[in-house]
């Protein structure tokens, strides 16, 4: 959340800057004025309560004098009781007003960084750079399998029994599917440890008190699963990313400059309801309710967070380059520019537009990888600098307290996917398939039993598989077109014959 004093001009704040950021987010800037009015109302109520203290001090002196003189002080004691009652009411009112004020402040997103593309349409995400392995041509291929079909053919997962037991998007990984997923986990953790990150396996659920400080309100309804345990005070929420518990790992702590940066390689199973994604990526393991993820999470000196943002994204790029996967990075864009829609050349890094940023992020880059069956890039990585937005809500302070401090200082928090392993596995399966099986990326081989270079297909696809349906549809369309041409040609011949007959007559 933002500091409430950032809204108050005579307390060093800049309300116009916040309004500008709100407009960039395509959010209501008038809320800023509402917050200022609420702050002023709270301040006046709090001040009125403190003014009663001075009145009570005078009254207590008078009561003391009367008692010393052994005079009746009943009237003064009644006034004191009235003051106590009035003060209590004012303090209760001030507390309620502060709760309402803080809740309103939490609805305001982080200050959007000046480099973020301004748009509320993700089609305007800006392509920053691209990469592909040498000699690789990125193109949609007709005679390849979708990732889930490759996984079926190596007997790597069972979606039917998974759906029967779990429901929609349920699955079992099995055999090579298990080992490939574990290989991505182990390689990811080892990769980050080599870059100075501390591996951290997180809890899979959190108390609402802490989840509310790191997740947006709408996430509770659209994304998070709730675990009910007796009374409401015991309710917990399953995590959607290890960023959530790690962000709270240092809650209510002071961190001095020499201890920074603190870099964690978070590993966890993650759970997402995907309530807003009905019908998207409905088959396979790309978009599922339960998956594993290795996450970068870093706390930094506020002056060095943008440096760290670049470093963290470079880590993710390096990871996917080491896997040999074609990818692109996406960035938000300000203005109207035509972007390629066929994506037949290379992968790209993309900056996310201002209107698509979540509240905590000041800036976000995505890394999207090429899926040859679908002929499109799909998101594998999101990297965000949340500056002091999360750390303020969680009271993770920066530096040492001094008497001259006007405002509290907080560390900056950044997060970036390294690998959501089921998604990364989908990309590996589509890009490394052959006619006979799956080539194993070199960096993953040592994590598999027997370190195989190749995993052969052992199962046939069902007749109603995704690629078979697509082929049948394409064949049917082609046959229909051919029949139409034959019919048209026959009709033309008949018409020509009729003309010749008429001429002879």
Q: Are residues 11 and 153 in the same domain?
A: no
Residue 294 lies in a domain: yes
Q: How far apart are CA 343 and CA 148, in angstroms?
A: 22
| 87 and 166 both lie in a single domain | no
Angle between the 30-68 and 15-24 helix axes, to the nearest 10 degrees? 140
346 and 286 within one domain: yes
Q: Could you tell me if 397 and 467 lie in one domain?
A: no
What is the CB neighbour count within 10 angstroms for residue 199? Answer: 14
Tell me how far CA of residue 282 lies from CA of 54, 148, 170, 246, in angstroms. Answer: 67, 11, 11, 30
Whether residues 345 and 475 share a domain: the answer is no
Q: Domain count for the chain, please give it.
A: 3
In a shared domain, residues 186 and 232: yes
Reduce the secondary structure of 278-317 to three states and give it as a string. Answer: CCCCCCCCCCCCEEEEEEEEEEECHHHHHHHHHHHHHHHH
- For the annotated binding site, the residues are 241, 272-274, 288-291, 295, 379-382, 415
Beta strands in 45-178 (DSSP E): 126-131, 157-158, 172-173
Together in a domain, 484 and 410: no
* Final residue of a structural domain among 74, 105, 136: 105
Are 139 and 100 members of one domain?
no
Same domain, 133 and 282: yes
In residues, how long is the chain? 505
CATH number of the domain where residue 27 is located: 1.10.287.40
pLDDT tens per residue, the chain (505 residues)? Answer: 999 999 999 999 999 999 999 999 999 999 999 999 999 999 999 999 888 887 888 777 777 777 777 777 777 777 778 888 888 999 999 999 999 999 999 999 999 999 999 999 999 999 998 887 777 666 677 788 999 999 999 999 999 999 999 988 899 999 999 999 999 999 999 999 999 999 999 999 999 999 999 988 677 777 899 988 877 778 899 999 999 999 999 999 999 999 999 999 999 999 998 755 555 666 789 999 999 999 999 999 999 999 999 999 999 999 999 998 765 455 533 322 222 333 232 357 999 999 999 999 999 999 999 888 988 899 999 999 999 999 999 999 998 776 666 688 999 999 999 999 999 999 999 989 999 999 999 999 999 999 999 999 999 998 877 766 666 665 555 455 555 555 665 565 566 556 545 544 4
Asked if 132 and 219 sit in the same domain, the reply is yes
d(C-alpha 3, C-alpha 473), whole Å: 57
**119: in domain:** no
Q: What is the CATH number of the domain that holds 241?
A: 3.30.930.10
Q: Which residues are annotated as a binding site for ATP?
A: 272-274, 288-291, 379-382
This prediction's pTM: 0.85
Question: Looking at the structure, do residues 241 and 370 belong to the same domain, yes or no?
Answer: yes
Retrieve residue 79's tokens: 């006034």
Other Cβ atoms closer than 10 A to 100? 13
Binding site as annotated, residues for L-serine = 241, 272, 295, 415
Domain that holds residue 226: 127-439
- 306 domain-assigned: yes
Residue 85 CA from chain centroid, whole number: 48
Would residue 68 count as lying in a domain?
yes
């Amino acid at each position: 959340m933002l500091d409430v004093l950032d809204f108050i001009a005579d307390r060093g704040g800049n309300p116009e800057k916040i309004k500008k950021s709100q407009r960039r987010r395509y959010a209501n800037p008038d809320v800023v004025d509402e917050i200022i009015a609420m702050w002023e109302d709270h301040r006046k109520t709090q001040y009125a309560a403190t003014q009663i203290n001075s009145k009570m001090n005078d009254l207590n002196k008078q009561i003391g004098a009367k008692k010393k003189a052994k005079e009746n002080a009943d009237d003064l004691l009644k006034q004191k009781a009235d003051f106590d009652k009035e003060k209590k009411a004012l303090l209760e009112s001030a507390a309620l007003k502060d709760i309402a004020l803080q809740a309103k402040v939490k609805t305001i997103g982080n200050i959007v960084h000046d480099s973020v593309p301004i748009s509320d349409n993700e089609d305007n995400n800006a392509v920053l750079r691209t990469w592909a392995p040498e000699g690789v041509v990125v193109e949609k291929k007709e005679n390849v399998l979708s990732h889930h079909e490759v996984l079926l053919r190596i007997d790597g997962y069972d979606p039917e029994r998974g759906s029967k037991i779990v429901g929609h998007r349920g699955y079992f990984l099995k055999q090579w599917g298990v080992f490939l997923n574990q290989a991505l986990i182990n390689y990811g953790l080892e990769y980050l440890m080599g870059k100075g990150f501390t591996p951290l396996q997180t809890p899979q659920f959190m108390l609402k008190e802490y989840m509310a400080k790191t997740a947006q309100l709408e996430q509770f309804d659209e994304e998070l699963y709730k675990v009910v345990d007796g009374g409401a005070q015991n309710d917990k929420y399953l995590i959607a990313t290890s960023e959530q518990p790690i962000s709270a790992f240092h809650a209510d702590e002071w961190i001095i400059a020499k201890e920074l940066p603190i870099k964690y390689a978070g590993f966890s199973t993650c759970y997402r309801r995907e309530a807003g994604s009905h019908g998207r990526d409905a088959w396979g393991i790309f978009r599922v309710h339960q998956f594993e993820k290795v996450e970068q999470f870093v706390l930094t000196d506020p002056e060095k967070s943008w440096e760290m943002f670049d470093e963290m994204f470079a880590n993710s790029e390096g990871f996917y380059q080491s896997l040999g996967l074609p990818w692109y990075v996406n960035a938000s864009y300000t203005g109207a520019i035509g972007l390629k829609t066929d994506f037949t050349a290379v992968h790209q890094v993309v900056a996310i537009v201002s209107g698509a940023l979540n509240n905590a992020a000041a800036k976000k880059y995505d890394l999207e990888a090429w899926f040859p069956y679908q002929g499109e890039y799909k998101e594998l990585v999101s990297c965000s600098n949340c500056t002091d937005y999360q750390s303020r809500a969680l009271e993770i302070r920066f530096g040492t307290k001094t008497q001259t401090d006007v405002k509290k200082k907080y560390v900056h928090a950044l997060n970036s996917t390294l690998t959501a392993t089921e998604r990364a596995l989908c990309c590996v399966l589509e890009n490394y398939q052959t006619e006979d099986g799956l080539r194993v990326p070199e960096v993953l081989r040592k994590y598999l039993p027997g370190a195989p270079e190749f995993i052969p297909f052992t199962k046939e696809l069902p007749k109603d598989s995704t690629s078979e349906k697509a082929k049948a549809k394409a064949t049917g369309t082609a046959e229909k077109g051919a029949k139409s041409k034959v019919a048209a040609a026959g009709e033309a011949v008949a018409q020509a014959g009729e003309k010749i007959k008429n001429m002879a007559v």
